[in-house]
Chains A and B, each alone.
Chain A
Amino acid sequence: QKEVEQNSGPLSVPEGAIASLNCTYSDRVSQSFFWYRQYSGKSPELIMSIYSNGDKEDGRFTAQLNKASQYVSLLIRDSQPSDSATYLCAVRNTGGFKTIFGAGTRLFVKA
Chain B
Amino acid sequence: DARVTQTPRHKVTEMGQEVTMRCQPILGHNTVFWYRQTMMQGLELLAYFRNRAPLDDSGMPKDRFSAEMPDATLATLKIQPSEPRDSAVYFCASGHYLGRMNTEAFFGQGTRLTVV
Q: Return chain A residues, CB-CB under 8 Å to B56.
A: 98
Asked if A63 is at the interface of the complex by the 8 Å CB criterion, the answer is no
Task: Tell which of B31, B42, B55 touches A104, judged by Cβ atoms closer than 8 Å.
Answer: B42
The chain A residues found within 8 Å of chain B, CB to CB, are 32, 34, 42-46, 49, 88, 90, 96-104
Give chain A nearest CB distance to B50 CB in angstroms. Answer: 7
Question: Chain B contact residues: over half helix, strand or loop, or mixed?
Answer: strand
Beta-carbon contact of A44 and B107 below 8 Å? yes
Task: Tell which of A43, A46, A49 touches B108, judged by Cβ atoms closer than 8 Å.
Answer: A43
Q: Return chain B residues, CB-CB under 8 Å to A98.
A: 45, 48, 55-56
Beta-carbon contact of B35 and A97 below 8 Å? no
Task: Tell which of A42, A43, A96, A102 touches B42, judged by Cβ atoms closer than 8 Å.
Answer: A102
Query: How many residues of chain B have a CB within 8 Å of chain A?
Result: 22
From B16-24, B62-70, B76-84, B97-105, give the one contacting chain A. Answer: B97-105
Beta-carbon contact of A101 and B48 below 8 Å? no
A99 with B33, Cβ < 8 A, contacts A43-B91, A104-B42 known:
yes
Beta-carbon contact of A46 and B50 below 8 Å? no
